[in-house]
């Protein structure tokens, strides 16, 4: 192991360095690069930061960005909470609800029209 | 409020007011139990990445406003039945990265507003039938990275609102008939990285709204015919399986398909009609299906932009191919047995054409006519002995032409003025020297003989060096010239290229001496341009 890499690390890190934070994570955690000023440090999380979604693979767990109109998502194409100004419907963020549905401005979702 | 400042903020935690409710972050504090003095106005509570192994029975009973509870990244192996009682407002519950071996069904019984439940990265192998009975609002369920060996069919019968679910990274080996029959709202289903070998013919019945199905990295032996009932499917993946054939009318039930990923399957056979009537499909990649003898009939698949059909046995391209594919931008047909090319003139949007490693012997006047967007043609490793003088005349966007290893004796230059990359090595009969004016924008040139590179630089200076070969006697001017000349011939260009790498190469060159041309083979001590003297 490289001399600057220490084993005694915080939180979910498996290996880390003073300058770069986590270099690798304990199993089943998500490795994320956080920007602090000009520096990027590695952190290991049990869930991806807001605006990102996680995908688990046998050898690595990755975080990737949701779409621009989405705050939190299940996958890139399936949003679970839209950004303000958009209504959520079946995983999509819409500026206007489809015909047959009405916009609920409290939940910011498209809901069935209640007669 | 600063940590610990207000009485309702547990020690060490970080609390923030959001209107009348409170966000409390107690993550990564080494806690071994849930703090007791939590404010009743807590709406968001993060206890993730601590050392909590047990939850007290009514730890959260007074948190009526709690909407999001994060308990991920702890050591919870079981959850008492009343642990979450009273959480009527709870929408998001995160229990991933713990030690649960079964679904805490009792604890989940009374969460009427729960929408998102994360149980991924646990050790769950048992899913009792009534696990999700009380969760009528549940939309998103994560059960990936657990120890499931079968689809929890009965438990999944009670989730009418479920829209997205992942069962990836388990040990599921079979999908029985009607496995998901009550999940009529499901839009996304991930089953990648399991051991699925077999799939009931009615395995996906009931999934009327499914748009994304991920079966990648499994052990399927047969094409998943059960997909025929998925009328709204848009994204399908079954790459990295053991499927050998894609049958006729394979996707007849999926007219909305936009992407199909099925690479890394030992596919030998593809039905002629397999990819018909897919008007939304924009990419189709088939590599190594050696049993394919004929170009597929793509009737009704009119939005295809990228078609990759390599390493098969295609020997003929149908005349009407381009009529079926008006949107085609990239056509990659390398490593087939194509001898004769039709006219591509109806492929009006074609930008890249890969025909390397075929048996093409001539290029006619109409082969590439009117392809105004065509930027790159790879015809290397064929048997081309004749190119019609007007073959390239209308190709105003052409920048890359690869004719390596053919049987050319001459190269028609009309229409090639815009080339930045030209590769002609392996055409021994092509001995004519080129004039610099023929290729004013040339950057990377590969030619059969070294002397043909001399047209692009002051070879005389080079000869003085090459005749003397005593670097020490070089005068400063010679040395500078020598350095510039070497830079002029830095050696063989990478004969594998792709668009991005080359653009980068162009930028690098721009920043160096203005403008250098990378020409090879570069004349040198063992290739002292001898041909140069013979031909002058």
What digits encode the pLDDT tens for the residues B408-422?
Answer: 999 999 999 999 999
Instruction: Look at residue B64 in the predicted model and tell me its pLDDT.
Output: 94
Instruction: Specify whether the CB–CB gap between B119 and B110 falls below 8 A.
Output: no
Element (H, E) at A65: strand A61-65
Give A12's contacts in chain B (Cβ within 8 Å).
Answer: 49, 73
Nearest CA in chain A to B144: A56
What residues 50-109 of chain A have any CB closer than 8 A to a CB of chain B?
A: 56-58, 74-75, 77-78, 80, 90-91
CA distance B523 to chain A (A): 45
pLDDT score for A92: 96
Q: Which residue has the higher pLDDT, A13 or B462?
A: A13
Strands B164-166 and B188-190: parallel
* Domain extents in chain A: 1-65, 78-115
Q: Mean pLDDT, to the nearest integer, of B192-199? A: 97
Q: Which residue of A has its CA nearest to B164?
A: A74
3-state DSSP call for residue B57?
Answer: coil
Q: Which of B176, B77, B189, B114 is nearest to B144 (CA)?
A: B189
A11/B96 Cβ within 8 A: no
B217 near B262, Cβ under 8 Å?
no
pLDDT by residue (tens digit) across B432-465?
Answer: 988 888 999 999 999 999 888 887 764 443 333 3
Inspect the interface and report whether the beta carbons of B164 and A80 lie closer than 8 Å: yes
Beta carbons of A58 and B168 less than 8 Å apart: no
Enter the tokens of residue B522: 């570069």
Closest chain B C-alpha to A37 CA, distance in angstroms: 22
Across the interface, which of B73, B94, B212 has its CB nearest the CB of A77? Answer: B212
Could you say which of B114, B131, B147 is where a domain stops? B147
Inter-chain CB proximity B94 and A47 less than 8 Å = yes
* Domain end call among B112, B147, B182: B147
The CA-based angle B245-B247-B323, given to 5 degrees, is 110
pLDDT recorded at residue B477? 46
Region B215-228: mean pLDDT is 97
Structure tokens at B196: 């699925």
Closest CA to B116 of A79, A52, A76: A79
Contact between B86 and B58 under an 8 Å Cβ cutoff? The reply is yes
d(CA B48, CA B39): 18
Domains contained in chain B, number: 2
Confirm or reject contact between B89 and chain A (CB < 8 A).
Answer: no
In this structure, the strands spanning B421-423 and B400-402 are: parallel
CB pairs under 8 A, 24+ apart, for A6-11?
Answer: A10/B28, A11/A43, A11/A44, A11/B28, A11/B49
Nearest CA in chain B to A72: B116
Cβ contact, residue pair B139, A80, below 8 Å:
yes
CA distance A90 to chain B (A): 7
Q: B158-186 pLDDT, tens per residue? A: 899 999 999 999 999 999 999 999 999 99
What residues does B166 pair with on adjacent strands?
B142, B190
From the list B96, B209, B211, the residue facing A47 with the nearest CB is B96
| Paired sense of beta strands A78-82 and B518-520, if any | unpaired
Q: CB atoms < 10 A from the CB of B58, how many?
A: 13
Residue B479 domain-assigned (yes or no)? yes
CA nearest to B179, candidates B208, B158, B151, B198: B151
Identify the CATH class of A1-65: mainly beta
Q: What is the CA radius of gyration of chain A?
A: 19
Average pLDDT over residues B138-156: 98
Residues of B in contact with A11 (CB under 8 A): 28, 49
> Which residue among A28, A58, A75 sits closest to B188, beta carbon to beta carbon?
A75
Tell me how far CA of residue B497 lies from CA of B378, B401, B509, in angstroms. Answer: 11, 11, 16
- The rounded distance, in Å, linking the Cα atoms of B409 and A77 is 53
Tokens of B150: 């079968």
Residue B342's CB is within 10 A of a number of other CB atoms, namely: 18
Residue linked to tokens 């008492």: B80
Tokens of B297: 């009939």
Write down which residue in B102, B128, B147 finishes a domain: B147
- The reported pLDDT for the residue numbered A35 is 87
Cβ contact, residue pair A47, B72, below 8 Å: yes
pLDDT greater than 70 at residue B290: yes
Residue B1 maps to a domain: yes
Give backbone dihedrals phi and psi of A92, rounded to 5 degrees, phi first. -115, 150
Q: Minimal Cα distance from B138: which residue of A?
A: A80
Q: How many CA atoms lie within 13 A of B58 on its CB side?
A: 4
Give the whole-angstrom CA distance, residue B103 versus residue B99: 11
Longest alpha-carbon distance in chain A: 70
**Alpha carbon of A11: minimum distance to chain B alpha carbons (Å):** 7
* Residue B113, min C-alpha distance to chain A (Å): 13
DSSP assignment of B67-91:
-EEE--SS------TTTTTT-TT--
**Can you read off the two tokens belonging to residue B530?**
């001898």
Backbone angles phi, psi at B63, to 5 degrees: -95, 70
3-state percent breakdown (helix, strand, coil) of chain A, nearest 5: 0, 55, 45
Tell me: pLDDT of B497 over 60.
Answer: no
What number is the average pLDDT over the span B512-522? 70
User: Which domain covers residue B475, as residue numbers?
Assistant: 454-535
Q: Do B72 and A75 touch (CB under 8 A)?
A: no
Q: By C-alpha distance, which of A81, A44, A80, A77 is closest to A63? A: A44
A37 pLDDT band, cuts 50/70/90, is: confident
Q: Do A74 and B169 touch (CB under 8 A)?
A: no
| Range B381-405 average pLDDT | 97
pLDDT at site B457: 62
| % of residues, chain B, pLDDT over 70 | 85
Spell out a b/e string for B483-507, using b for 16 or more CB atoms within 10 Å of the CB, else e: eebeebbeeebeeebeeeebeebee
Lowest mean pLDDT, pick from A42-51, B210-219, B299-308, B450-459: B450-459
Axis-axis angle for helices B459-468, B476-488 (nearest 10): 110
Task: Tell whether B116 is within 8 A of chain A (Cβ).
Answer: yes
Characterize the bridge pairing of strands B68-70 and B42-46. parallel
Tens of pLDDT, residues B347-364? 999 999 999 999 999 999
* B218 CB within 8 Å of a chain A CB: no
pLDDT at A5: 56
Q: B30: nearest CA in chain A?
A: A11
Instruction: Place B526 in a pLDDT band, splitting at 50, 70 and 90.
Output: low
Cβ–Cβ under 8 Å, residues B355 and B335: no
Contact A57 B193 (CB under 8 A): yes
Neighbours of B337 (CB within 10 A): 13
B193–A29 CB contact, under 8 Å:
no
CATH of the domain at B68: 3.80.10.10
Residue of B nearest to A30 (CA): B97
Q: What is the pLDDT of residue A82?
A: 97
Paired strand residues for A42: A21, A33
Counted residue by residue, chain A has a size of 115
Distance from CA of residue B146 to its chain's centroid?
26
A34 - beta bridge partners?
A: A41
Residue B97, sorted as left (phi over 0), alpha (psi -120 to 50) or beta, turns out to be left
Task: Please determine, for residue B27, whether its predicted confidence score (pLDDT) is greater than 60.
Answer: yes
| Region of B264 on the Ramachandran plot (φ > 0 left; ψ -120 to 50 alpha; else beta) | left
Q: What is the pLDDT of residue B515?
A: 56
Q: Which residue of A has its CA nearest to B96?
A: A46
Return the DSSP state at B524.
B
Which of A29, A46, A72 best tests the B interface by mutation, with the highest count of B CBs <10 A? A46
Interatomic CA distance for residues B23 and B14, integer angstroms: 8
Is residue A60 helix, strand or coil?
Answer: coil
The H or E element containing residue B9 is: none
Residue in B48, B96, B164 nearest the CB of A74: B164
pTM: 0.82
Q: Which residues contact B163 (CB under 8 A, 6 or more apart)?
A: A78, A90, A91, B139, B140, B185, B186, B187, B188
CB–CB contact A46 B163 (8 Å): no
Residue pair B89/B67 in contact (Cβ under 8 Å)? The answer is: yes
| Mean pLDDT across B177-199 | 97
Query: And the tokens for B37?
Result: 């003095």
B87's tokens:
């959480």
pLDDT digits (tens, 9 = 90+) for B71-81: 999 999 999 99
Q: Is the distance from CB of A91 to CB of B185 less than 8 angstroms?
A: no
DSSP string for residues in B487-510:
HH--SPPPSS--HHHHHHHHHHHH
Tokens describing residue B340? 């004769």
When the pLDDT of each residue in chain B is averaged and rounded to a whole number, the result is 87
- At A60 the pLDDT is 87
Decide: B140 and A80 in contact? Cβ < 8 Å: yes
Give residue B466's pLDDT. 35
């Amino acid at each position: 192991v490289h001399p600057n890499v220490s084993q005694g690390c915080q939180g979910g890190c498996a290996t880390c360095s003073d300058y770069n934070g986590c270099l690798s994570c304990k199993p089943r955690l998500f490795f994320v690069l956080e920007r602090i000023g000009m520096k990027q440090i590695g952190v290991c999380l049990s869930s991806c930061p807001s605006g990102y979604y996680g995908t688990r693979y046998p050898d690595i767990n990755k975080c990737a960005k949701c779409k621009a109109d989405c705050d939190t998502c299940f996958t890139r194409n399936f949003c679970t909470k839209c950004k303000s100004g958009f209504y959520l419907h079946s995983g999509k963020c819409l500026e206007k609800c489809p015909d047959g549905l009405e916009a609920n401005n409290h939940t910011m979702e498209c809901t069935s029209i209640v007669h | 409020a600063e940590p610990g400042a207000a009485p309702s903020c547990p020690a060490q935690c970080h609390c923030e007011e959001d209107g009348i409710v409170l966000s409390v972050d107690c993550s990564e504090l080494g806690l071994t139990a849930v703090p007791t003095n939590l404010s009743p106005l807590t709406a968001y509570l993060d206890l993730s990445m601590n050392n909590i192994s047990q939850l007290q029975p009514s730890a959260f009973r007074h948190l009526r406003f709690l909407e999001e509870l994060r308990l991920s990244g702890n050591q919870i192996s079981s959850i008492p039945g009343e642990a979450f009682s009273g959480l009527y407002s709870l929408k998001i519950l995160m229990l991933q990265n713990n030690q649960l071996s079964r679904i805490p069904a009792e604890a989940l019984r009374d969460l009427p507003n729960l929408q998102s439940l994360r149980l991924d990265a646990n050790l769950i192998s048992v899913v009792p039938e009534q696990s999700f009975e009380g969760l009528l609002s549940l939309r998103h369920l994560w059960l990936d990275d657990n120890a499931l060996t079968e689809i929890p069919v009965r438990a999944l019968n009670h989730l009418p609102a479920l829209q997205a679910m992942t069962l990836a990274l388990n040990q599921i080996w079979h999908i029985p008939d009607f496995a998901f029959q009550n999940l009529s709202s499901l839009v996304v289903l991930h089953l990648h990285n399991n051991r699925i070998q077999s799939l009931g013919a009615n395995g996906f019945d009931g999934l009327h709204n499914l748009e994304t199905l991920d079966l990648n990295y499994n052990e399927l032996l047969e094409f998943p015919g059960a997909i025929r009932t998925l009328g709204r499917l848009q994204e399908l993946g079954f790459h990295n399986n053991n499927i050998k054939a894609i049958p006729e009318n394979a996707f007849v039930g999926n007219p909305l398909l936009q992407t199909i990923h099925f690479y890394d399957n030992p596919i030998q056979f593809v039905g002629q009609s397999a990819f018909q009537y897919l008007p939304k499909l924009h990419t189709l990649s088939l590599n190594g299906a050696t049993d394919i003898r004929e170009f597929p009939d793509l009737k009704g698949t009119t939005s295809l932009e990228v078609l990759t059909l390599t390493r098969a046995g295609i020997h003929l391209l149908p005349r009407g191919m381009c009529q079926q594919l008006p949107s085609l931008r990239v056509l990659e047909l390398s490593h087939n047995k194509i001898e004769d090319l039709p006219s591509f003139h109806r492929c009006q949007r074609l930008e890249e054409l890969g025909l390397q490693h075929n048996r093409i012997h001539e290029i006619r006047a109409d082969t590439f006519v009117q392809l105004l967007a065509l930027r790159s043609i790879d015809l290397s490793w064929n048997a081309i002995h004749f190119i019609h003088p007007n073959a390239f005349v209308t190709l105003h966007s052409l920048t890359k032409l690869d004719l390596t290893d053919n049987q050319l004796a001459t190269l028609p230059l009309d229409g090639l003025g815009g080339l930045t990359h030209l590769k002609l090595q392996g055409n021994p009969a092509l001995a004519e020297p080129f004039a610099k004016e023929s290729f004013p924008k040339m950057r990377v040139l590969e030619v059969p003989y070294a002397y043909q590179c001399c047209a692009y630089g002051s070879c005389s200076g080079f000869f003085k060096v090459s005749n003397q070969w005593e670097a020490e006697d070089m005068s400063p001017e010679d040395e500078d010239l020598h350095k510039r000349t070497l830079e002029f011939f830095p050696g063989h260009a990478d004969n594998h290229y792709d668009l991005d790498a080359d653009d980068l190469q162009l930028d690098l060159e721009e920043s160096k001496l203005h403008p250098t041309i990378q020409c090879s083979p570069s004349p040198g001590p063992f290739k002292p341009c001898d041909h140069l003297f013979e031909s002058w």
